[in-house]
Amino acid sequence: MTGLLVLAVLATLLAGTCFAVLLDRAQPALVAEFFRSRVETEAPDRLNRDLAPAWYLALAAIGLSVVPFAPGLALIDSPAGIVIWGSCEALIVVTVFLHGWAPNAPFPLIGAYRYAALALPVMLPSMFVLIAAALPAQSLSLIAIVDSQREIWNVIRQPLGLPLFLVVALALTLRGPMDYADGADIATGTSAEESGAARATWYLARAAMLVSVSALAATVFLGGPLGPLLPGPVWLWLKTAALMALTAWLGHHVARPPPGRMLTLLWIALLPLSFLHLAISGVLAL
Amino acid sequence: MTLTIVLLGAAALIGLGLYGALSQQSFVMLMMGLELMLNGALLATIGFWSRAIGGMPEGQLLAIIVMAVMAVEMAIGFALIVAVYRKRQADMTESLGTLKH
Amino acid sequence: MTDPVTDLVLLLLTGFAVWTGWRVFRVDSMVRASFSLMLSFIAVGAIGLLLSAPYIGIATVFMMAVEMMVMAIFMVMFMMNPAGLNPMMMVHQHGVSIAAGLAAFLGLGAAILLSAPPSDPVPPQAPVVAQLGHELLGPSMLIFETAGVTLLATMVGAVILSSRQGRHGAADEGSRPPGLTAGGAPAGRTPGEEGGPGHHHHHGGHG
């Protein structure tokens, strides 16, 4: 059963990455990118520069491993599944920062710094929203959260949760309005001094992370593998694909404000909104 | 045996942290020494809770309190570092000499 | 009674935690130092997972990743050499510190090896996360609430200590970047000079 689940996670990641690459407006020439030569900067941190895309991919895989593929079946079945996802989010921020710091160049470091300043406050609404979803389940385990959605999905009884989590999804996958790390206004930021296989792997890792975060949102808000006719995994894939398309659409159609304004929006609007959401969910769950 | 390994590791972390807190000139590195000491204390707490007191819930509570202390110490520590830098442009302990004899 | 495989993995993880802790004070770059500390904490979190404390182990990894990220931000802000181009060894009272660290380790080690702690392992199928939750909001509610108020006071204190409008005027009135050599002239432009080409600000988003 464990082998089957590992296969399911890897297959979902592979297929989902292809789907995510197709969702983008303009795909880079990925196969050609793998054969380009690599650009060197002065005195980079070689270990982190070469390994950051691999860690980003690994975090996407770990995030997908806590998602149950059928009611009661997940590769990592921990009583604190939500907290595992939370640590993946925190380590994503660290990975993107390392990706920008390692080349020892100004634009990547600016991208890394902006991203750290904005992704850390984005993690706060993420945790409040996930905790609010754990309240009706009375457990931090994702399997219990899926079980608690048998009568009604969390997106209906906690309506603010999914929009707030979509903001988090945009930040974790470096897309659209939250793309401060790889933004075009700083010459693609943390990827500015990158070329060749590393650049292609970073792009694929961002696509894989979109799969992972959409699968988690589908599990926590849309009931994951629950559904009438089709088997569990098929429902999970359908819901994940729908959320991936929604996130990509938001990424293409919402403008990116300057970092100062986004910071104000996060701390003054989104964080109190998530407090309110948690308070309402707590009262409803009592 | 398990408990001994974990506790010796915690003691080593505390010793390393004490070395760092006493020897480093930069404020941020000094705080890393303090964090290492609290790391050792957290490891010892988890070790004792898991092997010596049969999983009493108060043991986990103490671990949570140690983590809260870590958070408080880092927040106030960095705020003080920012404040002292703004006032005296001091980013090393050697630059603060007003309490010296 | 103790499982030798678990013991071996614990030995490796403990050794990794201590080694990365030692590397914190030996690496050249401050950013590397803070992420080496993060690796030490991740090893302690993994030990927590092995010792049947899943929530505490994962929460340690979570908290420490964020804390070390903040620390790395402060490194790049305050040190002239965050990337590691020059060797870095800024220590004082080195001999005293080594002696103190060794004394602490030997004293604690002696206490551990010479005393006999009771052996009462946690039952393997105990619902530890649920027990922690019931404990936090039941018998130890007062401690929990006090910790909450303490954290609130910390937040207020940190904001006040580092706010831009200080009590006696603007907080960064006297602040200048440190010199490129120890005690040298401040790097970057002085206030009042027109901004020239080739400087860039790292704004955290203030104003």
DSSP string, B25-48: -BHHHHHHHHHHHHHHHHHHHHHH
Burial level of C151, CB count in 10 A (0-12/13-18/19+)?
A: middle
DSSP H stretches of helix in C54-186: 54-78, 94-114, 128-137, 141-161
- Work out the minimum CA distance from B56 to partner chain C, whole angstroms: 8
Rounded CA-CA distance B3/C14 in Å is 12
CB contact under 8 A, A110 and C203: no
Choose among B15, B28, B51: nearest Cβ to C75.
Answer: B28
- A neighbour chains, 3+ CB pairs within 8 Å: C
ipTM of the complex as predicted: 0.91
Choose among C2, C108, C119: nearest Cβ to B11.
Answer: C108
User: Given CB atoms, is B58 within the 8 Å cutoff of chain C?
Assistant: yes
Q: Are B56 and B49 in contact (CB under 8 A)?
A: yes
What pLDDT is recorded for position A62?
Answer: 94
What pLDDT is recorded for position C88?
Answer: 61
Choose among C53, C70, C131: nearest Cβ to B46.
Answer: C53
What pLDDT is recorded for position C120?
Answer: 83
- Of A73, A89, A51, A58, nearest to A208 by C-alpha is A58
Q: Please count the residues of chain A.
A: 286
Residue in the block written with tokens 């704004």: C203
DSSP H stretches of helix in chain B: 2-23, 27-51, 57-88
What pLDDT is recorded for position B63?
Answer: 93
What pLDDT is recorded for position C204?
Answer: 43
Domain range spanning residue C64?
A: 1-84
Between residues B90 and A83, which one has the greater pLDDT?
Answer: A83
What pLDDT is recorded for position C1?
Answer: 47
- Work out the minimum CA distance from B99 to partner chain C, whole angstroms: 17
Nearest CA in chain C to A264: C205
H or E stretch at C170: strand C169-170
pLDDT along chain A (286 residues), means of 10: 88 89 80 78 81 92 92 87 93 93 88 91 93 91 91 89 94 89 83 83 92 94 87 90 93 90 93 94 89
C121 in a domain, yes or no?
A: no
> Is pTM beyond 0.90 here?
no
Q: Please count the residues of chain B.
A: 101
Those residues with Cβ within 8 angstroms of residue C112's Cβ, 6 or more apart along the chain or in another chain: B4, B7, B8, B11
| Weakest mean pLDDT among A89-103, B51-65, C73-87 | C73-87
Rounded CA-CA distance A89/A216 in Å is 12
| Weakest mean pLDDT among A109-113, C117-121, C136-140, C186-190 | C186-190
Whether pLDDT at C44 is above 90: yes
Considering the domain architecture, whether residues C64 and C4 belong to the same structural domain is answered as: yes
- Of A182, A94, A282, A54, nearest to C31 by C-alpha is A94
CB contact under 8 A, B23 and C176: no
Domain range spanning residue A135?
A: 2-285
- Work out the minimum CA distance from C194 to partner chain B, whole angstroms: 22
What pLDDT is recorded for position C169?
Answer: 63
Considering the domain architecture, whether residues C6 and C73 belong to the same structural domain is answered as: yes
| Weakest mean pLDDT among A83-92, B19-28, C86-95, C147-156 | C86-95
C96 in a domain, yes or no?
A: no
Q: Are A210 and A59 in contact (CB under 8 A)?
A: no
What the block records as the tokens of C30 is 């401050």
Among C84, C115, C140, where does a domain finish?
A: C84
What pLDDT is recorded for position C168?
Answer: 62
Q: Are B13 and B42 in contact (CB under 8 A)?
A: no
- Work out the minimum CA distance from C77 to partner chain B, whole angstroms: 10
Taking contacts as CB-CB distances below 8 angstroms, the residues of chain C near B2 are 2, 6-7, 10, 51
What the block records as the tokens of B49 is 């809770």
Please count the structural domains in chain A: 1
Read off the pLDDT of each residue in C157-180 and give the average, rounded to a whole number: 71
Considering the domain architecture, whether residues C74 and C145 belong to the same structural domain is answered as: no
Whether pLDDT at B92 is above 70: yes
Nearest CA in chain C to B56: C122
Positive or negative torsion for Cα C63, A264, C173, C77 = positive
Q: What is the pLDDT of residues B14-42, one digit of tens each?
A: 999 999 999 988 888 899 999 999 999 99
Considering the domain architecture, whether residues C74 and C143 belong to the same structural domain is answered as: no
Those residues with Cβ within 8 angstroms of residue C48's Cβ, 6 or more apart along the chain or in another chain: B46, B63, C54, C56, C57, C58, C60
What pLDDT is recorded for position C76?
Answer: 78
What pLDDT is recorded for position B75?
Answer: 92
Q: Are A108 and A181 in contact (CB under 8 A)?
A: no
What the block records as the tokens of C10 is 């614990």
Rounded CA-CA distance A174/C171 in Å is 34
C111 in a domain, yes or no?
A: no
Query: Which of C44, C64, C66, C129 is the best substitution to test chain A (most A C-beta atoms within 10 A)?
Result: C66
Does chain B touch chain A (at least 3 C-beta pairs within 8 Å)? no
Whether pLDDT at C195 is above 60: no
Whether pLDDT at C68 is above 80: yes
Taking contacts as CB-CB distances below 8 angstroms, the residues of chain A near C130 are 79, 139
Between residues A39 and C33, which one has the greater pLDDT?
Answer: C33
Residue in the block written with tokens 């080409």: C197
CB contact under 8 A, C117 and B48: yes
Grade residue C172 by pLDDT with cuts at 50, 70 and 90: low
CB contact under 8 A, B28 and C102: no
- Give the HSE-up count for residue C30: Cα atoms under 13 Å, Cβ half-sphere: 24
CB contact under 8 A, A80 and C55: yes
Secondary structure class of A107 (helix, strand, coil): helix
Considering the domain architecture, whether residues C132 and C79 belong to the same structural domain is answered as: no
Domains in chain B (CATH in brackets) are 2-90 (1.10.287.3510)
CB contact under 8 A, C205 and A259: yes
